Amino acid sequence: MSVDRDEVIRILTVLAGPLGPPVEPLADLDERLAFQARWLDAGGVELLAVISDLITNPPSLEQLQLHPAYLEDWTALLAEIADTLGKRYPEFTIPRLPPDHSS
């Protein structure tokens, strides 16, 4: 599966937005969660790479085409997906973590 940054932004925006029309196929929470699970399964480490890039280089609100009220939901969803995929693919995630300088 080839993962495109703009498409990931679009999907995250739909998933973080309100339930119901105009996105009928994802009109209820169960459908939305099922779609999200399938998307994560299909995207794999390529999706994680794009998610990591979105964390490092976040899109502007204009790029998101999202009402500002949903920005916090979008950011929380981004973090949730990064966490889920990071746990699935530690071989991708661990080498990219910054060094621990707390000692």
Q: For 37-82, how does the pLDDT look when each residue is reduced to its tens digit (9 = 90+)?
A: 999 999 999 999 999 999 989 998 888 877 777 888 899 999 999 9
Rounded CA separation 45/3 (Å): 10
What is the pLDDT at residue 13?
87
C-alpha atoms less than 13 angstroms from C-alpha of 44 in its C-beta half-sphere: 6
Higher pLDDT, 99 or 50: 50
Residue 70 CA to residue 64 CA, distance in Å, equals 10
Going from N- to C-terminal start, the domains of the chain cover 5-96
CA distance 101 to 86: 21
The Cα 88–Cα 38 span in angstroms is: 14
Query: Hey, how many other C-beta atoms are within 10 angstroms of the C-beta on 55?
Result: 12
User: What is the reported pTM?
Assistant: 0.78
